């Protein structure tokens, strides 16, 4: 049952601030219940409770944290049908997509449960004492990753489940041993409250301190800022716009004790088609590319927004295929009124720019709807180099084609790009073999390189990297998807000459957890 309330200290908490409701983009109506922003005092209470809970939760054995994560996953599965129904009304995302997102959410919770249950993620390192070493003896030195402290997580607009209340940031922060405070996104408050209730119940049934989790509603400018600035918060996870992400980064950096912010913000995901691939399969690439940049009404952070094609007749054929698909496409509802208005404004602005050719534009919807028509534009390579702002992200179902004259010009274009989440190459084996210099540039620009595939769709696994240089993220050394995400919310602690009884289990000689450790520079599960 939706109460329209935040969750604080393990109980519903009525907000006292500004009121808001979810919006059904398809029906164009507001959805009950009414939610209210929490107060700054509530933020302070949540953060202090999280700090209190850290003393207990951070010491929890891996098996107990795994049980907690699995309990959350099972709880989400138990309400999956209702969850999908509510999320569908709040976002207009298709039910099959949302069913898949439920699966992704519970699977990543269970994947992190496996990681912490096994335990080797903590990167235990042991360099035993060498009392007889000359000219100086060596102390007994050991290190292991420990939780960083309470984490603030900001839910995203475009993934109401997988990047929201129980999404990857929350799952990885819990797995590392940290309490979590989630600021829910106002685009899907009902969905957020339902998942928040599941986590709250899991906290209670697993016997954890109530401050282990809190869910709060409120504006980013007021509530979000207060959360990031609170001295009890030790890290931030965020998925959203560049403007909002930069604002939070600046707040975190300006604190008396600056904290790390792991921000996923802006990416246009270059999609490069090489000559031989274009000659042999232009129609198939056109079909796949159109499906990728319009998937989810273009509201994926991995949407291919920049398409690089050579100036030849094979590229002309691919563009003709794209244009036909765009012009025959229907406009579809976007997540929120604000996102739709931004998309509409940016598309209109691009249409008016000199040097920009409109290749295709679907029929717009009548005034009053939030249905976005796909749009396809084209510019020359020289125009992009002269106006790099054209490479900025437009969140929605649009793509910009850039025509390059030769390989050297393609290298120049690739070098001019900002940081990206993904970069895609379509090419034959011969194309790829001849593109080592291009791949070297793209390695410096993106977190994930793809060959002959499409960037939308991110597998949750051990090797996945969903990150990249700024402005794609605030820290290119990290990922927000996959098990390596846990390292964002842990820090190394070194123990020198500690007695065995006082060491964490990960560092004791007998290796009671049976984990893989680096002992004297060699990986082993053996006792010391």
At 8 the three-state DSSP class reads strand
Cα gap 33→136, rounded to integer Å:
70
Contact 399/286 with Cβ under 8 angstroms?
Answer: no
Dihedral class, residue 494 (left if φ above 0, else alpha if ψ from -120 to 50, else beta): beta
What's the helix, strand, coil split of the chain in %, to 5?
45, 20, 35
Catalytic residue among 264, 393, 409, 506: 264
225: tokens are 């800022």
Contacts of 504 (CB under 8 A, 6+ apart): 144, 146, 495
Residue 443 appears among annotated catalytic residues = no
Read off φ and ψ for residue 124, nearest 5 degrees. Answer: -65, 135
Distance (Å, whole) CA 122 – CA 515: 9
Give the helix ranges, DSSP H, for 58-94: 62-78, 80-91
The total number of residues shown for the chain amounts to: 528
301 is catalytic: yes
Contact partners, residue 357, CB within 8 Å, separation at least 6? 377, 378, 379
**Could you tell me if 256 and 233 are in contact, meaning their C-beta atoms sit under 8 angstroms apart?**
no
Nearest 5°: phi and psi at 523?
A: -75, 135
Judge whether 211 and 235 are in contact, CB under 8 Å: no
Are the C-beta atoms of 19 and 35 separated by less than 8 Å? yes
Would you tell me the crossing angle of helices 275-294 and 313-328 to the nearest 10 degrees? 10
Catalytic residue among 193, 200, 261, 301: 301
DSSP letter at 138?
B
Find out whether 23 and 86 touch, Cβ atoms under 8 Å: no
SS3 state at 52: helix
Active-site annotation, residues: 264, 301
């Amino acid at each position: 049952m939706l109460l329209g309330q935040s969750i604080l200290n393990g109980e519903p908490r009525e907000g006292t601030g500004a009121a808001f409701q979810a919006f059904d983009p398809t029906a164009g109506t507001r959805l009950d219940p009414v939610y209210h922003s929490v107060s700054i005092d509530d933020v302070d209470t949540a953060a202090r409770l999280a700090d209190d809970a850290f003393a207990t939760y951070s010491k929890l054995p891996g098996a107990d944290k795994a049980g907690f994560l699995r309990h959350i996953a099972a709880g989400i599965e138990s309400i999956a049908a209702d969850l999908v129904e509510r999320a569908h009304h709040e976002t207009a995302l298709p039910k099959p997509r949302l069913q898949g997102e439920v699966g992704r959410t519970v699977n990543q919770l269970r994947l992190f449960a496996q990681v912490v249950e096994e335990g080797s993620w903590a990167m235990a390192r042991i360099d035993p004492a060498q009392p007889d070493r000359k000219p100086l003896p060596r102390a007994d030195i050991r290190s292991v990753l420990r939780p960083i402290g309470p984490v603030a997580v900001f839910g995203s607009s475009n993934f109401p489940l997988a990047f929201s209340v129980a999404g990857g940031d929350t799952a990885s922060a819990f797995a590392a041993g940290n309490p979590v405070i989630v600021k829910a996104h106002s685009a899907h408050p009902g969905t957020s409250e339902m998942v928040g209730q599941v986590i709250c119940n899991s906290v209670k049934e697993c016997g954890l301190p109530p401050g282990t989790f809190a869910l709060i509603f409120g504006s980013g400018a007021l509530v979000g800022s207060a959360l990031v600035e609170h001295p009890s918060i030790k890290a931030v996870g965020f998925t959203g716009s560049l403007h909002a992400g930069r604002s939070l980064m600046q707040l975190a950096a300006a604190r008396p004790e600056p904290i790390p912010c792991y921000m996923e913000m802006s990416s246009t995901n270059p999609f490069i088609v090489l000559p031989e691939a274009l000659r042999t399969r232009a129609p198939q690439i056109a079909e796949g590319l159109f499906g990728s940049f319009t998937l989810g009404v273009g509201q994926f952070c991995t949407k291919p927004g920049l398409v690089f094609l050579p100036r030849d007749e094979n590229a002309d054929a691919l563009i003709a295929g794209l244009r036909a698909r765009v012009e025959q496409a229907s406009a579809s509802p976007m997540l929120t009124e604000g996102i739709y208005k931004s998309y509409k404004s940016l598309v209109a602005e691009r249409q008016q720019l000199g040097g920009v050719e409109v290749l295709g534009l679907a029929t717009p919807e009548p005034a009053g709807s939030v249905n976005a028509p796909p749009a396809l534009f084209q510019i020359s390579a020289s125009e992009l180099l002269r106006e790099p702002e054209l490479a900025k992200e437009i969140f929605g179902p649009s793509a910009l084609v850039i025509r390059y004259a030769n390989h050297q010009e393609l290298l120049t274009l690739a070098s001019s790009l900002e940081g990206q989440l993904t970069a895609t190459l379509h090419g034959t084996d011969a194309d790829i073999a001849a593109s080592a210099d291009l791949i070297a540039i793209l390695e410096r620009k993106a977190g994930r390189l793809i060959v002959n595939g499409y960037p939308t769709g991110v597998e949750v696994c051990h090797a996945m990297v969903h990150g990249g240089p700024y402005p794609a993220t605030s820290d290119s050394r990290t990922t927000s998807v996959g098990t390596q995400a846990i390292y964002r919310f842990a820090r190394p602690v070194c123990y020198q000459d500690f007695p065995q009884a006082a060491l964490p289990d990960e560092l004791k000689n007998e290796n009671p957890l049976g984990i893989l450790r680096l002992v004297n520079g060699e990986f082993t599960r053996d006792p010391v």
